[in-house]
Structures are given as structure tokens and as C-alpha cells.
Amino acid sequence: MNTRIAELRRQQKLSQEDLAKAVGVTRQTITSLEVGKYTASLVLAHKIARFFNLTIEDIFLFEEEENL
């Protein structure tokens, strides 16, 4: 899943470590989210969205599958 986390983090001049501490995860979790190797739980997605004062949909880019 693609996200805007890295973009938003850079806009606010935050390190991965800064964001990780703010939402209660490790820096490695933030790295994995940014490169698409990990999908956030609903709770974590909500924490990140609240941190940036955005909606989950503004941060996590859902791509609908054509063959549902």
C-alpha cells in the first residue's frame, strides 16, 4: 500500500524517529510503512492521521482492485 507518510514527514521536517515516538512505534515500522513493506493496523493508521491532522484516506492511498 502506498502512503504519503514520507512526504508529510518531510514537509514538517520530522525524522522517522520523531514520528515513530509520536505514534508509539519503532523507526523501523515507519520505514516499512513508507516503502510499502508493511500495512498499518487501523489503530496505527488512525494515530498517524490524527498526528498530521488529516484523514486516513489523505495519508494511505487505497487502490481499488478491478476484479473484486
Domain boundaries, the chain: 2-61
Residue 30 CA to residue 15 CA, distance in Å, equals: 10
Contact indicator for 57, 42 with CB cutoff of 8 Å: no
The neighbouring-strand residues paired with 3 are 60
CATH number for the segment(s) 2-61: 1.10.260.40
Digitized pLDDT (tens) for each residue of the chain, 68 residues in all: 899 999 999 999 999 999 999 999 999 999 999 999 999 999 999 999 999 999 999 999 987 655 55
